[in-house]
Amino acid sequence: MTATDLAKPGRPAPARSGARRAEPAAASRLARVRTRFAAAREAPPLPPASPGVSLTVSVLFMLSVTAVWLLIYGVFLSGIQERSAQHRLYSQLRFSLAQEVAPLGGAIKPGTPLAVISMPAAGLNRAVVVEGTTSTVLRDGPGHQQNTPLPGQLGWSVLMGRSVSFGAPFKDIGSLHPGDIITATTQQGTFHYSVINVRHNGDPLPPPVPDGGGRLTLVSSQGSGWRAGWAPSHEVFVDAALKEKALLAPAGRPTVIAPSATAMHSDTSGLESLVLWLQALLIVGGATVWASSRWGLWQAWLAGAPVILALVWVVSSNVFRLLPNLM
C-alpha cells in the first residue's frame, strides 16, 4: 500500500492497536465504579444510636467545650478584666494619695486600693494592691491580708496574688533571689524591701521580725511537671526585710480573717451570684433560639449573640470565685 492509496477519499485509516486496548480498560473501570455506587445506595442504613448513648455523647461534648473555654478564659482572657480593674484602681489611688485620704489602717473595706508595689526582678513593674485576699478580691490584682499591717508599717505584712488567671501578677515571684528589691508606696511614703529567701510548704520560717522592724511576705502558687503554668498545686512564699524604719500602724485592724481569705481557698459566697447569672444565660439563650424561628436565624443571633457573650463572660468570672484564690 502506497501513500497515494492512503490519501484516497472514502478509505478508512488503519486503527491503532493501543487505542483498541485502552477502550475496553476504560469501560471496565467505569463499570466497576458504577457497581460500587450501586452497592453503596443499596446498603442498609446504620441503626440509630440509643437515647442513652446520644445523651452521654452530648453531655461529654458540652463538658469538653466548657472545660476548654474556662481554660482559655482563665489563662488568657481574664487578664483583660484585671487590666481594666488595675487602670480604674490606679486612678482612684492616685486621687486618694493626692488628697491624703488613702487608708492607713483600721477597718478597710475589701477591694479598696491602698498601695502600689513593683518588683522588676519578677517582671512586675507596677501593681495596685487592694484590701482583702479572697478569690473575689484577687480578680482585681494583688491583695493585702486584712489582719496584718500595711507595707511600711511595724510588723509583718502579707500580700497575696494570683499566678495563672486574671493577669497573674505574682506568677514569677518564685524566681526572686536574696537581695532583690521590692518597692511599696502607700499614703505614708515609699518603702523598699530586700528579699531574704524564697520558701515552700514545709520549709522553716524566717526568724521573728526584729524590734522596730518590718517584714513583707508575698504569697502565690506554683505547679510542677505537666501542670506547671496552668494548674498550681502548692504555695510559694517570698520573705523580704524592710530597709527603712518601720512606721506605726493605726489601731483597729482585724485580728482574724475568714477561711476564704487564706491561701488556696475559694470564695463560696459567689455561688448564689453564679446561679443567678446562669439563669439569665439560659433565659437569653432560649429566647434567642425562639426568636430564630420567628425572625430568622441570622437576625436573631445578631441581636442575641452580644448579650450571650457578655453573660458567658460574667458567668466565667463568677466560676473563678469558686476556685482557689491564688490560681
Smallest Cα–Cα separation from 235: which of 146, 148, 170? 170
Q: How many residues does the chain have?
A: 327
CB 150 within 8 A of CB 144: yes
What is the mean pLDDT of the segment spanning 230-243? 91
Where along the chain do its domains lie? 63-261, 270-322
Smallest Cα–Cα separation from 86: which of 146, 126, 132? 126
- Cα radius of gyration (the chain): 34
pLDDT given for residue 197 in this prediction:
96
pLDDT given for residue 44 in this prediction:
61
- Which amino acid, 265? H
Q: Which residue blocks in 223-296 are alpha helix, DSSP H?
A: 271-294
Asked whether residue 40 carries a pLDDT value surpassing 90, the answer given is no
Bridge partner list, 214: 155
pTM for the full predicted model:
0.81
pLDDT band at 31 (very low <50, low <70, confident <90, very high): low
What is the mean pLDDT of the segment spanning 134-141? 96
What is the mean pLDDT of the segment spanning 178-197? 97
- The Cα–Cα gap between 59 and 119 comes to 45
Q: Which helix (H) or strand (E) holds 214?
A: strand 214-222
CATH superfamily, region 63-261 = Sortase (2.40.260.10)
